[in-house]
Structure 1
Amino acid sequence: MKLTTRLIVAMTAGALAATAIAEETKPAANGNIAVVNGVAIPQAKLEAQLKVLAARGQKDSAELRNAVKDSLITGLLIEQEAAKKGLDKSAEVLAELEVARQGVLFRAFVQDYFKSHPVADAEIKAEYDKFKEAQAANGKEFRARHILVKEEKQAKDLLAQLKKGAKFDQLASKHSEDKGSAAKGGDLDWSTPGNYVKPFADAMTKLQKGQVTQEPVKSEFGYHIIKLEDTREAPVPSLDEMKPQIAQFLQQKQLESLMKDLRAKAKVE
């Protein structure tokens, strides 16, 4: 149940009673960890919760098992009290439980589907090759600085100051409307032209290393003064580095195709 899960996540070792920490969780009779008001909590339920917590990075330990056991007991007590009040028959509660049930079944279905339809290494390699080709098409990466202002007149005034020897990074820090890069002296770090709006990219790619645009560059954001710091060949991550992301991307495509196919076959009125 939701409440039980929240209680588990909220628990920390410091919050456990000393007696609970000292004792080791052991199955009661018939494979149950506890029997609460005549209702058994099976060992399997504890193991299922531990599996969820392990996926979140928590290590199995006696303390964790006691925490989970205590949480399951508390959750069952609350569930019993809620049932006494008839809350388990509430239309709102039943609707929420149905939504939660559908969510659990959806995840189980997806996991089962991917077990029987794993993404093949050949598919991952083919997708990686397409990515690598696209990266090669982009060619170079550019490291540029810019100063962004709203008015053309101000941009021209700043250009005049640069021609007189003013420091680009100092002017950017003081005047640029792009506060993110202004904090770094206008530095935009390494990026490909495709990541910039076209007027900016067109002007930047015409510059030689160390050059500054001679006129303000107008874009939808305002007026830019651009300085090209350097260029380099765009680095391409290795297949091993990209494999998890590509596999996830291909799984998502598989799932979208499956959902589309199920909708096409279904009678939805």
Structure 2
Amino acid sequence: MKKRYFLVALLLLGLLVAGCKPGSQAQSKVIAEVNGDKITQTEFDQHLKLLKFTYEKQVLGTGKLDAVKDKETISKLAEQSYKEMVLQKLLWQEAEKQKINIKDSEVDEALKDQDIKTFLADSGMEENYFRQEMKTQILYWKIRDKVTAKISASEAEAQKYYQDNIGQYTEPGGMQVAHILVATEKEALDILAQLKAGSDFAELAKQYSTCPSKERGGDLGPINENSNYVTEFKEAALKLQPGEITREPVKSEAGYHLIKAGDKVESKVHPFEEVKNSVVADLENQKKDKAYGDYLNSLNKKAEVKDLRK
């Protein structure tokens, strides 16, 4: 239900294609060399399919990239794919130096609850490349763990970070809101009839809603004008008075919502001692991200890369 945003730094989320060759590529054109290791057109195309699929899901929702209308976007994704391919080769070279192996069983564990067939059908990726992609994702985090193993944050550093980023530890004020999300207007109208007949909103949310908030009876917490929700939902929610339910289903890109307003709440700053462990973890992660980013940049700078695309 929240707005979808395309995260440009897909690499930092682990969305990397693999460095090993998952299948025969004897007939595939070589488009680059990284310290002597070849990047083939097939590898590049498979990773570009992943980037396109991710963009379509996060930005377009149910839409598809159009080769003519979205030519500039596709070109940027292609350049991103190339850069990520170079870096993934470097990661696998580091894995060889550090004798890091990723077992098939680790991939199986990561994918045990995923609908892989549907993903492959929707994205157009081949299974062997996708499984190798997952190996690279696991490798990415294993190397990060090794590179950043000695990085920590002191309490004094955490206190400064807390003061500099107080907004992260502040609960926003606004209207307490719950909702029930369903796919069709008919479903929403049927549930609305039950609400008007006296049924409990939270129980109906647990029974019918498709939003993860169903586990909390549809509770989304407080929202305000600055909350990151789609316009149709936010405007309808903020018009309600405490205890009021929308009289009609509210349509958005996510489906149809029935919205209930709760009490108005004031913003609340959590004291440092209350969130100290979270602050330390946040700061450590920030420091580790920077250290690992510097490490990856150093690999790039030292690498001998031949761009053979032209």
Q: How does the TM-score come out when normalised to structure 2?
A: 0.41
Bigger Cα Rg: 1
Identify, as 1 or 2, the structure richer in helix: 1
Q: How does the TM-score come out when normalised to structure 1?
A: 0.46
